[in-house]
Structure 1
Amino acid sequence: MDNDDITLTAGEAEARVSPANGGRVSGLRIGDLELLRQGHRYGCFPMVPWCGRVRDGRFLDGATVRQMPLNAPPHAIHGTARDGAWRTARTSAGEAVLTYDLTDPWPHPGRVTQIVALAEDSLTLTMSVETYGDSFPAQIGWHPWFHRNLGGADVTLDFEPAWQEERGPDHLPTGNRVAPKPGPWDDCFGMPGGVDVTLTWPGQLELKVTSREEWVVVYDEQAEAVCVEPQTGPPDGLNTLPRLVTPLEPLEATTVWSWRRL
């Protein structure tokens, strides 16, 4: 199948998926409300095979030090798949299945599969990474850019993390866990019971972002948008908390966004 944009519909909900632009969900409209910031870099893009920054773009792969391009100098950020064209495997009215083959600069051949499933009151994103050869460390995450303001109402965030990863001057976790601090944030939080963040645009919409994963980055330092990013490990996790993709066991993760009109 080609990689043209795909429109999914369910009730008053409409999601637009853009395989050619990094496999991102480029739009999510609930009635007359577009939830995601529009533009080539925005929407909601998959972070794979790593999330956030990798220190100096280097990670240990077994006994080998790998170097990734420094696309956020002095670090590498948000994986490689958001810069590539994904393929459409199949679609239906409410679901799209996309695939992306890992390639240079990533050193291991493998495949990423993303399923985007729209219901009348929720969007479910599921991603898996499998290897075509040796085992390798990886991460999965999603980076949505939610509009800060919808229908004249600014969003509020409600979540109760168990800790905040202390952020060093290089924007990377120091390894210390601290009590959650007030925003604005470009920070990673631990939620051992699973990610559970509620975004509320008063008088407009309530949206819950949930995942069985226990890590979430919240980024709200820009005027236009707020990002709530569930992921399988913290920033620099390829080094500090690697999750292994093996021939027998892919790495899999899911996030669900559920909403109700107010």
Structure 2
Amino acid sequence: MSSSEENVRLAASDVELTVNPKAGCRIESLTVGGVELLRQGERYGSFPMAPWCGRTENGRFRNGGVVHQLPLNAAPHAIHGTVRDLPWRTARSGPAEAAFTRELGEPWPYSGRVTQLFELAEDSLTLTLGVETHGDSFPAQAGWHPWFRRDLGSGGPAEIAFEPQWQEERGEDHLPTGRRIPPLQGPWDDCFGMPDGVAVTLTWPGLLELTVTSRAEWVVIYDEQAEAVCVEPQSGPPNGLNTLPRLVTPIDPLEISTTWSWRRL
């Protein structure tokens, strides 16, 4: 492990991971055998989503009898939480693992903390997010938004394989309508239900196979851009603060993990 004012770098064999805690605790780079797997740029890499994932309708959610208004950073909705836009604190780091924390507060209306743990091995990366409250209970979600490069330079573009039980029908406002439909053909900017756990495989022919797994039951696939494919395991569907609230209480924090495992072809 090496660190600078900006980045924390982890390594295992010929795998290297770079995390930028000051830029939303975003993974800036993941290389396997010198090959970069993530789209580069300040908006890309892979970022954590908390305390909500995807779009929250009109930026509003209810907690009991109180309605809260969030900033509309994807008008007319609020998208992807707050912590991706904030600096985090490095809690600890070692050669192949590191932990970071971020306090919750404005524009999120409740105090709490988000923790992110990275565990790197030569054939996998495990990420864990935790959301806890310092007092009042509140609904929350957590997940990740990785931008995997569609083409690694040879062998052709990534092929996607997964077997969801259903797709959340997407309305014209990009929010789930509440109807579950048979999975449609892509391209997608859609949420899928995988009640036995997320399992999505990206294969770059002749180069690498990477599988994203999680005990979470929801995954968003976004592959409408030519440059990247996003596989986003998350604890609930888009607009879930309103449609499927998961309450974080002082004795029941939210925790979600995902593992990216790979093998050379």
- Superposition TM-score, scaled by structure 2 size: 0.97
Structure 1 gaps of 5+ residues are none
Q: 1:172 aligns with which of 159, 170, 175?
A: 175
1:65 CA drift (Å): 0.5
Q: 2:188 aligns with which of 172, 177, 185?
A: 185
Spell out the pairing of 1:182-261 with structure 2 (5 A cutoff). Answer: 182-261=185-264
Per-residue Cα deviation, 1:32-69 (whole angstroms, up to 9, x for no partner): 21000111111100000000000000001111110000
Q: Distance in 1 between matches of 2:186 and 2:5?
A: 39
Spell out the pairing of 1:18-167 with structure 2 (5 A cutoff). Answer: 18-152=20-154, 153-167=156-170
Structure 2 gaps of 5+ residues are none
List structure 1 runs of 4+ shifted beyond 3 angstroms: none
User: Structure 1 residues 27 and 2 mapped into 2: Cα distance closer, same or farther (>3 Å)?
Assistant: closer
Q: Distance in 2 between matches of 1:184 and 1:18?
A: 30
Q: CA RMSD in A?
A: 1.0
Per-residue Cα deviation, 1:118-162 (whole angstroms, up to 9, x for no partner): 000000000101100111000001000000001222000000000
Q: Distance in 1 between matches of 2:6 and 2:55?
A: 30
- How many residues are paired up? 262
Per-residue Cα deviation, 1:83-126 (whole angstroms, up to 9, x for no partner): 00000000000011000000100010000000011000000000
1:25 CA drift (Å): 1.0
Q: Distance in 1 between matches of 2:101 and 2:134?
A: 14
% identical equivalent positions:
66
Secondary structure at the aligned position of 2:23 is classed as coil
- Superposition TM-score, scaled by structure 1 size: 0.99
Per-residue Cα deviation, 1:156-178 (whole angstroms, up to 9, x for no partner): 00000000000000000000000
Q: Distance in 1 between matches of 2:248 and 2:36?
A: 36
Q: Distance in 1 between matches of 2:5 and 2:88?
A: 7
Contact between 1:151 and 1:204, CA under 8 Å: does it hold in 2? no
User: Structure 1 residues 134 and 229 mapped into 2: Cα distance closer, same or farther (>3 Å)?
Assistant: same
1:3 CA drift (Å): 5.5
Q: Distance in 2 between matches of 1:74 and 1:122?
A: 38
Secondary structure at the aligned position of 1:89 is classed as strand
Secondary structure at the aligned position of 2:40 is classed as coil
Q: Distance in 2 between matches of 1:168 and 1:111?
A: 33
Q: Distance in 2 between matches of 1:149 and 1:199?
A: 11
